[in-house]
Structure 1
Amino acid sequence: MMRVYAQASLRATVTSRTSIGGVVVSRNSYSRRQFMRSAAAAVAAPLVIPATSLGRGWRVAPSERITLGMIGVGNMGSGHLETLLGHPEVQIVAVCDVDAEKRRAAVERTESHYAAEKVSGTFRGCDGYNEFEKLLARTDLDAVLIAVPDHWHAIISIAAARAGKDIYCEKPLALTVREARAMVDAVRRHARVFQTGSQQRSSPEFRRACEYVRSGRIGRLQSIHVNIGPPSRDKYFEKQPVREGLDWDRWLGPAPWAEYNAERCSGDYSGGWRRVRDYSGGMTTDWGAHHFDIGQWALGMDESGPVEITPPPKRDDWGLTFRYAGGVTMSRHERYEDHPVSGVYFVGTDGRIEVNRGHLKTWPDEIIAEPLGAKEVHLFVSPGHHQNWFDCIRSRRRPICDVEVGCRTITACHLGNIACWTERVIRWDPEKERIVGDESAARWLDRPRRGPWRI
């Protein structure tokens, strides 16, 4: 546990106030180890600390680990859980899920993992919650990882910021444009460290592609082509009996009331809630938060966005197009000319670059043969998406996919959906964050929420 108030007997209470990116945050300036060394020197006696007190070998000392709560331990959350259980800087102390079986399994998996690290072979110290509010009320938590359906992201993230927790939230950042901006406001107001789960920014192939584009290796960038699926739509489901152990009212939360159906709440990418407009923006936001995000990064648009969005010629067809102020376009395409698009495909006056997970190719080949020069663009090299978040929790710096980055990317994605749903060209003011000249389309910038949930 890292917090000063929870370690009062072991840590000095000296604090300093530092400005980071215009945000003033407080930090402890005297660590537990410094305090222990000073105390030992004062009595002129050697300080002997058993290895088990500092953690077993590769583990960080218990008092220096980041204490973490997991909110949502389904298909994405369980993957994060497995990864983080093996992380030496982290101690998972609580999990939350509205599915009792998933919650129980996550608690058992966590405690069995930590038990295996102990000489005694036993461990009890991970609590399970149905309500995220109870988890957030704990004073021994440093941070939370949120991996729930999209319609819950804003409410839980804002509550976590208000509770003083640092946050990792799965992408896409929010269900609406206004929710995304509210999340930024809450994170800044409460000086939290927030990592959006668009983890491709921490992958070297995507970083290198954006460095080459921004360094002019393909000449003047003309267009970007992204291969992702279509928007979400309204969908009807037959009523089924609610599965035992599932808090269905809590799963729905701020979404409109609907009868239970197993597919409605399934995390299956071929169907499930990701395809339903009440809970998600479909693949435009789900995969757009990955691939459109890389387009935004290459364009240097982390604090801006497109100015015009044109829908495809036919519903759910290819051709959704974003136009930026400099004239560059970014489009949703399965093919560009005779080339089948894989991931993100950049077209310039002097060459082309294609990037996807584990894939980076250029035309001509020489574009990436020569290393970047000192005067070319070098982007931040992330040590890994989770690790970058943990490093920033300690340094109080903003991570590679800060909440503002997530906000700008998901805003572009939602504007694409609005253009598709209304079948109209959308004109957007990225500075004032408003749709220009179309009040009807502007209503899609936010959604009504079922009580008592508010942002």
Structure 2
Amino acid sequence: MTQGLYLSRRRFLTTATTAIAAPHVISSSALGKDGVAPPSERTTIGMLGVGNRGSSSIRALSPLPEAQIVAIADPRAERRELARKNVDKTYAKRANKASYKACRVYNDFRDLLARDDIDAVWGCAPDHWHGVLYNRVLEAGKDMYGEKPLTRWIAEGFTVCDAVRRYGRVFQTGTQQRSCPQFREACELAINGYLGKIHTVRVGVPGGKVCELEPPCDPPKGFDYDLWTGPAPMIPFDNKRCEWLAMYMISHYCAGFITNWGVHHLDIAGWGCPEIFEKRFEVEGQGILPPGGMSDTWIAWRVEFHYPSGLKLSFTDKREPSFAAFGKDTPRTDLGGIEANESGCLFEGDQGWVRVDRAGIWANPESLLSVRFKPSDMRLHASPACDNDRGGYVSHSADFLRSIRTRQDPVSPVESGQAASTLGNVADIALRLGRKLTWDPTAKRFLNDDDANNMLMRPLRGPWTI
């Protein structure tokens, strides 16, 4: 890939991407009077976790008349009460009533799961909870929308996959980029050979942050810190570690952005080039950990995955200042002069390339963006198009609700979530061990490396088990 090719890109018009075929459009009044679906067509929903992601999910569900949030569980009283008020306000306005009082709140998610009037659950808890929580939801007989990454530890993810199929549940992974038209178009160009033989896929995502140490203190009133910690090691509370962004940078709770953010564009890489998910690969790389503070996950990295066919997947942080929510800006080193990838996912073939991110889609030759797909081409799952949807969140939610009705897999089934999450976690393990590893997705293990296989899971703090 040369710099000249980068300079020749043009931004693909939003109107063009939204013209890509979708099965139907859902508007706010599609299913019933005043935008409310009749009870027989409504999915009752419980929310588990209403922090940053959970609150975003509530906003994504609000315009969908076939969804009704009836319960919220969160170990922070202030958060769950605020979320309940927002839900009540939304539904009162939808029904043109003065008030709405049908949403109940809980501290403990187990009380929510005990209700038999809840059809589906949105899991928006921190990453370290995903394995235990998702298994509990599925065992309770609920369909589930589970935030990414699928789990904190690779081995946990396989138990979630098994539970989805064993209990016959519908599961949507929160990799909502699959519900954005430009990502689907890029993957269809790649998978149908319009780029020729693909030899390289490049993924770039935001890097990590340095989070300064905070002095221990008592949890605020109404915050069940023991329940928040759950299966993770119990660490003395401080005012930062449970907050966005710090909890994503502490390895007890998350592998860092190498997985938590990486899963988004790694998922697109595997959607457009299935070999990335399905075949054995060798992986090695280099990275930089924070020099101190409470964060201990990668702030910069470059990892390469090599496949038997000759395909290479290059995965880096995008080497520019990331989120600056707090703490000092992380120095963006050049890792010995190795160039970082641009944000998004780039498919390179011997006849052209296409790059896609949340801002749009680019290609060389540009004629690729005008391709008319043939009837014989493979067309990927298309989520419903929704009014006023930014980032695919509403469409992704609507796709899950449709799958609940049809009992068919949604656009991001559990196995895709596990495959994409595994790539990020494998990269993390290879960097921490500092050597080349071989991952076998069929065996679900590293080959000939006990140290690496011992990092597939960690002991869970009691009484939590899978």
Q: What TM-score results when the alignment is normalised by the length of structure 2?
A: 0.81
Amino acid across the alignment from 1:332: F
The answer (yes or no) to whether the contact 2:60–2:397 under 8 Å persists in 1 is: no
Amino acid across the alignment from 1:85: S
SS of the aligned residue for 2:134 comes to: helix
Residue 366 (structure 1) aligned with residue 349 (structure 2): no
Higher mean C-alpha displacement, 319-328 vs 384-393: 319-328
Note the alpha carbon deviations across 1:406-428, whole angstroms, 9 max, x for none: 11111111101000111111111
SS of the aligned residue for 1:69 comes to: strand
Which residue of structure 2 aligns with residue 349 of structure 1?
350
The answer (yes or no) to whether the contact 1:231–1:417 under 8 Å persists in 2 is: no
Which residue of structure 2 aligns with residue 16 of structure 1?
none
Q: Cα offset for 1:376?
A: 2.6
Note the alpha carbon deviations across 1:184-215, whole angstroms, 9 max, x for none: 11111110000000011111111111111112
Which residue of structure 2 aligns with residue 320 of structure 1?
303
The answer (yes or no) to whether the contact 1:231–1:281 under 8 Å persists in 2 is: no
Amino acid across the alignment from 1:215: N
Residue 411 (structure 1) aligned with residue 422 (structure 2): yes
Which residue of structure 2 aligns with residue 156 of structure 1?
133
CA distance in 1, matches of 2:57, 2:267: 21
Which residue of structure 1 aligns with residue 44 of structure 2?
67
Q: How does 1:139-150 map to 2 (within 5 A)?
A: 139-150=116-127
Which residue of structure 2 aligns with residue 282 of structure 1?
256
1:446–1:313 distance in 2 versus 1, CA, 3 Å: closer
CA distance in 1, matches of 2:107, 2:308: 46
Amino acid across the alignment from 1:370: V
The answer (yes or no) to whether the contact 1:304–1:430 under 8 Å persists in 2 is: yes
Report the identity percentage.
36
**Greater relative contact order (Cα < 8 A, sep 6+):** 2
CA distance in 2, matches of 1:234, 1:429: 35
Residue 90 (structure 1) aligned with residue 73 (structure 2): no
SS of the aligned residue for 1:182 comes to: helix
Q: Cα offset for 1:372?
A: 1.7
Q: Which runs of 5+ in 1 are unaligned?
A: 1-53
The answer (yes or no) to whether the contact 2:36–2:95 under 8 Å persists in 1 is: no
CA distance in 2, matches of 1:279, 1:97: 17
77, 80, 91: which one pairs with 1:114?
Answer: 91
Q: Cα offset for 1:83?
A: 2.1
CA distance in 2, matches of 1:68, 1:357: 28
Q: Cα offset for 1:313?
A: 6.9
Q: Cα offset for 1:240?
A: 2.2
Q: Cα offset for 1:369?
A: 2.2
CA distance in 1, matches of 2:72, 2:306: 42
439, 442, 445: which one pairs with 2:450?
Answer: 439
Higher mean C-alpha displacement, 106-115 vs 311-320: 311-320
CA distance in 2, matches of 1:199, 1:405: 12
189, 197, 200: which one pairs with 2:166?
Answer: 189
The answer (yes or no) to whether the contact 2:205–2:343 under 8 Å persists in 1 is: no
Q: How does 1:49-448 map to 2 (within 5 A)?
A: 56-118=33-95, 120-230=97-207, 237-268=214-245, 272-301=246-275, 304-312=278-286, 316=298, 317-333=300-316, 334=318, 341-383=342-384, 384-448=395-459
CA distance in 2, matches of 1:233, 1:408: 28
The answer (yes or no) to whether the contact 2:315–2:341 under 8 Å persists in 1 is: no
The answer (yes or no) to whether the contact 1:225–1:330 under 8 Å persists in 2 is: yes
SS of the aligned residue for 1:174 comes to: coil
The answer (yes or no) to whether the contact 1:306–1:430 under 8 Å persists in 2 is: yes
1:260–1:375 distance in 2 versus 1, CA, 3 Å: same
Which residue of structure 2 aligns with residue 20 of structure 1?
none
Note the alpha carbon deviations across 1:253-273, whole angstroms, 9 max, x for none: 0000101112211122xxx11
CA distance in 1, matches of 2:364, 2:157: 37
Q: Cα offset for 1:162?
A: 0.7
Higher mean C-alpha displacement, 381-390 vs 293-302: 293-302
**Bigger radius of gyration among the two:** 1
Note the alpha carbon deviations across 1:44-89, whole angstroms, 9 max, x for none: xxxxxxxxxx963331112431000011111110111122122100
The answer (yes or no) to whether the contact 2:152–2:254 under 8 Å persists in 1 is: yes
The answer (yes or no) to whether the contact 2:446–2:453 under 8 Å persists in 1 is: yes
1:140–1:351 distance in 2 versus 1, CA, 3 Å: same
Q: What TM-score results when the alignment is normalised by the length of structure 1?
A: 0.83
1:234–1:419 distance in 2 versus 1, CA, 3 Å: farther
CA distance in 2, matches of 1:120, 1:228: 44
The answer (yes or no) to whether the contact 2:208–2:256 under 8 Å persists in 1 is: yes
Q: Which runs of 5+ in 2 are unaligned?
A: 1-30, 290-297, 320-336, 385-394
CA distance in 1, matches of 2:138, 2:403: 15
CA distance in 2, matches of 1:357, 1:123: 36
1:429–1:339 distance in 2 versus 1, CA, 3 Å: closer
1:98–1:305 distance in 2 versus 1, CA, 3 Å: farther
SS of the aligned residue for 2:201 comes to: strand
CA distance in 1, matches of 2:182, 2:41: 33
Q: Cα offset for 1:113?
A: 2.0
Q: Cα offset for 1:370?
A: 2.5
Amino acid across the alignment from 2:417: G
Number of matched pairs:
399
Q: Cα offset for 1:120?
A: 4.7
